[in-house]
Structure 1
């Protein structure tokens, strides 16, 4: 049977197990959209390419397999850049497919002619263009392998319009199993174990790769045996289960003012697992550059003057941790338990204040208290970027990997709604609650129609203050005045209803919990507008933990 490039590409995607593709069609790529009709793959039409790549990115994070986004040439491709950069920075596998003009028009001025490879290469692990239809199977297989290999990220494949129409009858799809890697070398594991044994105040710092399920399992085994005090970055949320919370002193990031920062200050050995400096730059937490650091990761450390590990365990993280745990002594109680308990109490007291906070505006800690009354181990919480993200990252606990989702490396505005949509597609069971500020919400608000069209149920909370508050707070700290951060309020209830979704407005702190309970029972997407009390936001940005204090 005769097949063209578009048809063999569609077949490759089927063989690679792709179930969903997010995108927007156009003339330069419509042959592939047409070929996908004859496959079991479901194409999710989006309203902006950036939102489509956000959806593909979170699908990659949650499944471990590359999410796929498909767009047309010119602005279709250029609109991908923010999402590609976010995925590559934050370790989310994506394969992005973009159309281009025919090969004969590549070096001419033509409608939507772009050098796709050049404009995407800085935001991706790899960016290539198909020159012959017969090369499609190997290019697509390599794209998936590259995207998925740790550190995972985005790969872009440009496909000229005429390549999609070229005969490809002689080639077949290639779909190989991802290559397996082994643990770190034995001598480096032994050296790490020796340093562990000698340390008086060791600390585990969990990074984004800790959230991979196999890694989280081995981290839990390690903690069960050693009881080492532990902190995490925002993207490592959910690694620590309830029965190991006595080892956990919360999350750290952005500003040095958390109980976990004091733990870092006093540590004589910091063991990072799957950590990337983009999550919490070591210039903040290791200012003097004097910390002894063990780096456990898939890839060698990116060296800073403040991040120069004395031992690097490079290899499969879960296999490395399994061997390391075998060499470590068993402890019945948490190391430095009295100090750890004091820091935990400080964190717990802060969180517990939420219960008593009342008023016409909802305080972030009250939001966190109330949401804790309805969530369970199957609930997924999705956060956008803004000061709400800082409150949630510090004070909302999760006990399952990848069930509290943040954009931490790029801190990209507008991810929450697209992420909630894609999460519901692959997690049909369990509650999904997404949260954004009223600024970030408008970055991707049109995808509410996508959620309505696909009949996807989740609750999206919008914290409303009429400003980009995360920026405003930093302006006020630096310059004692603000600029270009305030905007008009909108009626989010009417906005939701205009798309066919349900909308609720909370008029006071006592209304939020019953409104949330009601919304969680509704079918389809539901939006809750929440006037938020940001009167204590300044404390999020104050640096209160200095070295030795």
Structure 2
């Protein structure tokens, strides 16, 4: 049989796994692999990024949306270490990623030489699978297993280190193709029937949707279940979009997370039975919403629960989420909400609606709720056909995350993306890029504060080179505001949070992007409409009014204490 180099075997395996893009920053320890891409017309497209961390974020965005691993390829030394933030973010938030890194020749592995380090050991604590490939014969096997492990519950990142000499070694092994594994069945039938009985007898049952619930099959099953059984529901931030318009008016009581002061928290406080679907404690500390240990919790998930003092499910229903929920729907009867519960629900719904509609605007600053209302109206405008069902909104961490997570309505899963596990600065633009690579030409929307934007803004160059179609909004107050307002509440002052006043329009234009500046709130809708209509990369600067954050923060901390 004809022999292949390790580099050839790697690329052929990626082809077999139908990988479409590989995100990279080049270097000497992977140049054999990079050069070999030229020999394969059907190879994944190499996308050269400006930073390895951002390359990983883009791959993570693809992993979350496509539900299969995005792939990143980097060189040794700092190329590997720069992956860490992206990989820990992906693993904590259940997004499948495969990262491949170069390494020194095997004979130099124990030497104090240029860019020599134990790559696999570095990545082991922050990935699901981390290994060094020491033989060319094992390359395709390792990639196959890494891809499978990244894609299985709980999804996350896999990492492979490939020494430089292994890439050039030859083997007669062939590139493996994916093995289609059997899908999981639903949870134990007796447990499902028991839960249906518990729902029927409970006084105030509530559904809490979490980060593993907004898969496409899961969303369909959950909607069918809620429509039949008539249960009030809240979401974590990462479960945004599961509830459609019809269910929103009937059963939805908002999103919960980070701090306990939302209408949805009041719903959970009233609950005697909580059905968690795809919930992960990293999203919302269970000590906050089950502090008194007074909830009967039924855990529906594809993985066992992570037990702590405040999250000890009465029953675990472990299996395929969609199939389990569908079976639960089949054996459940519609609930009739009693008068007392109906009154509680009405009060909570009124609070939710009031929260989204009430604000006073400064003549020179845009209130967050004004921005959200204008954007939502544009998304709903049937005559404004620039955005469509494939449009994704990705939101960076910061005060912008709090406002958007609580108040921005979406009606399809994975259309409003947050970093809820590691709460990592700089994800918004790369995630929008990942969405744009999946859906070429479609308008994607990303947004960040002025602090978070500069963590990944160098990728404007990548987005422009690749002809992506992204509009990025910057909420600017010249500070790390999410830290600032909490410090002010705790200590009466803020330290180490102030940032410079950047001309972001000029900055964007220096890359070749289109730049817009909102001088006053009355200009917002016109500029936003033009920015979203532009075909290409756009940056919109918005002076944001964060004065209400203090008031919100005080309520939050008062509730917690």
**Which interval holds the TM-score relative to the shorter structure?**
over 0.9
Checking the alignment, whether the CA contact within 8 Å between 1:262 and 1:545 is kept in structure 2 is: no
2:208 alignment partner in structure 1: 205
2:26 alignment partner in structure 1: 25
Mapped pair 1:397 → 2:397 = no
- What TM-score, normalized to structure 1? 0.97
1:183-194 to structure 2, matched below 5 A, reads 183-194=186-197
1:39 alignment partner in structure 2: 42
- Aligned counterparts of 2:373 and 2:418: Cα–Cα separation in 1: 19
- Aligned counterparts of 1:205 and 1:183: Cα–Cα separation in 2: 19
Checking the alignment, whether the CA contact within 8 Å between 2:219 and 2:242 is kept in structure 1 is: yes
> Which of these residues, 329, 346, 357, is aligned with residue 352 of structure 1?
357
Alpha-carbon deviations, 1:87-114, whole Å to 9, x = none?
0000000010000001111111111001
- Aligned counterparts of 2:178 and 2:490: Cα–Cα separation in 1: 53
Shift of the alpha carbon at 1:169? 2.7
State the secondary structure of the residue aligned to 1:537: helix
Checking the alignment, whether the CA contact within 8 Å between 1:424 and 1:458 is kept in structure 2 is: yes
State the secondary structure of the residue aligned to 2:312: coil
1:374 alignment partner in structure 2: 378
2:521 alignment partner in structure 1: 509
1:3 alignment partner in structure 2: 4
1:133-172 to structure 2, matched below 5 A, reads 133-172=136-175
Alpha-carbon deviations, 1:39-68, whole Å to 9, x = none?
331111111100000000110000001010
1:48-447 to structure 2, matched below 5 A, reads 48-245=51-248, 246-331=250-335, 336-353=341-358, 357=361, 359-376=363-380, 377-428=389-440, 430-447=442-459
Off by >6 Å, runs of 4+ in structure 1: 332-335, 545-548
Shift of the alpha carbon at 1:543? 4.1
Q: 1:241 to 1:135 in 2, by over 3 A?
A: same
Checking the alignment, whether the CA contact within 8 Å between 2:10 and 2:175 is kept in structure 1 is: no
2:383 alignment partner in structure 1: none
2:386 alignment partner in structure 1: none
State the secondary structure of the residue aligned to 2:28: coil
State the secondary structure of the residue aligned to 2:484: helix
- Aligned counterparts of 2:127 and 2:175: Cα–Cα separation in 1: 27
- Aligned counterparts of 1:125 and 1:98: Cα–Cα separation in 2: 16
State the secondary structure of the residue aligned to 2:288: helix
State the secondary structure of the residue aligned to 2:170: coil
State the secondary structure of the residue aligned to 2:213: helix
Alpha-carbon deviations, 1:357-400, whole Å to 9, x = none?
35210000100111112114443211000001100000011000
Mapped pair 1:474 → 2:486 = yes
Checking the alignment, whether the CA contact within 8 Å between 1:265 and 1:547 is kept in structure 2 is: no
How many residues were matched structurally?
Answer: 548
- Aligned counterparts of 1:172 and 1:207: Cα–Cα separation in 2: 37
- Aligned counterparts of 2:18 and 2:120: Cα–Cα separation in 1: 26
State the secondary structure of the residue aligned to 2:212: helix
Shift of the alpha carbon at 1:173? 2.1
Alpha-carbon deviations, 1:232-266, whole Å to 9, x = none?
00000000000101200000001100000000001
> Which of these residues, 467, 471, 492, is aligned with residue 455 of structure 1?
467
- Aligned counterparts of 1:286 and 1:235: Cα–Cα separation in 2: 20
Question: Which deviates further from its counterpart, 341-350 or 225-234?
Answer: 341-350
2:499 alignment partner in structure 1: 487
Checking the alignment, whether the CA contact within 8 Å between 1:92 and 1:152 is kept in structure 2 is: yes
Checking the alignment, whether the CA contact within 8 Å between 1:295 and 1:312 is kept in structure 2 is: yes
State the secondary structure of the residue aligned to 1:29: helix
**Long gaps (5+) in structure 1:** none
- Aligned counterparts of 1:273 and 1:218: Cα–Cα separation in 2: 11
- Aligned counterparts of 2:83 and 2:439: Cα–Cα separation in 1: 25
Question: Which deviates further from its counterpart, 65-74 or 187-196?
Answer: 187-196
Alpha-carbon deviations, 1:294-321, whole Å to 9, x = none?
0001111111111000010001111111
**Long gaps (5+) in structure 2:** 381-388
Checking the alignment, whether the CA contact within 8 Å between 1:5 and 1:136 is kept in structure 2 is: yes
Checking the alignment, whether the CA contact within 8 Å between 1:233 and 1:253 is kept in structure 2 is: yes
Shift of the alpha carbon at 1:168? 2.0
Shift of the alpha carbon at 1:481? 1.1
Question: Which deviates further from its counterpart, 417-426 or 429-438?
Answer: 429-438
Checking the alignment, whether the CA contact within 8 Å between 1:88 and 1:123 is kept in structure 2 is: yes
Aligned-residue RMSD, C-alpha: 1.8
Shift of the alpha carbon at 1:542? 3.2
- Aligned counterparts of 1:458 and 1:62: Cα–Cα separation in 2: 16
Alpha-carbon deviations, 1:471-506, whole Å to 9, x = none?
111111111111110011100010000000010100
- Aligned counterparts of 2:408 and 2:524: Cα–Cα separation in 1: 17
Shift of the alpha carbon at 1:539? 3.2
- Aligned counterparts of 2:550 and 2:312: Cα–Cα separation in 1: 33
- Aligned counterparts of 2:342 and 2:558: Cα–Cα separation in 1: 22
- Aligned counterparts of 1:53 and 1:454: Cα–Cα separation in 2: 17
Checking the alignment, whether the CA contact within 8 Å between 1:229 and 1:334 is kept in structure 2 is: no
- What TM-score, normalized to structure 2? 0.95
Shift of the alpha carbon at 1:340? 1.9
Checking the alignment, whether the CA contact within 8 Å between 2:29 and 2:75 is kept in structure 1 is: yes
Shift of the alpha carbon at 1:429? 5.7
Q: 1:45 to 1:178 in 2, by over 3 A?
A: farther
Checking the alignment, whether the CA contact within 8 Å between 2:208 and 2:236 is kept in structure 1 is: yes
State the secondary structure of the residue aligned to 1:208: coil
Checking the alignment, whether the CA contact within 8 Å between 1:258 and 1:545 is kept in structure 2 is: no
State the secondary structure of the residue aligned to 1:99: strand
Checking the alignment, whether the CA contact within 8 Å between 2:425 and 2:452 is kept in structure 1 is: yes
Shift of the alpha carbon at 1:330? 2.0
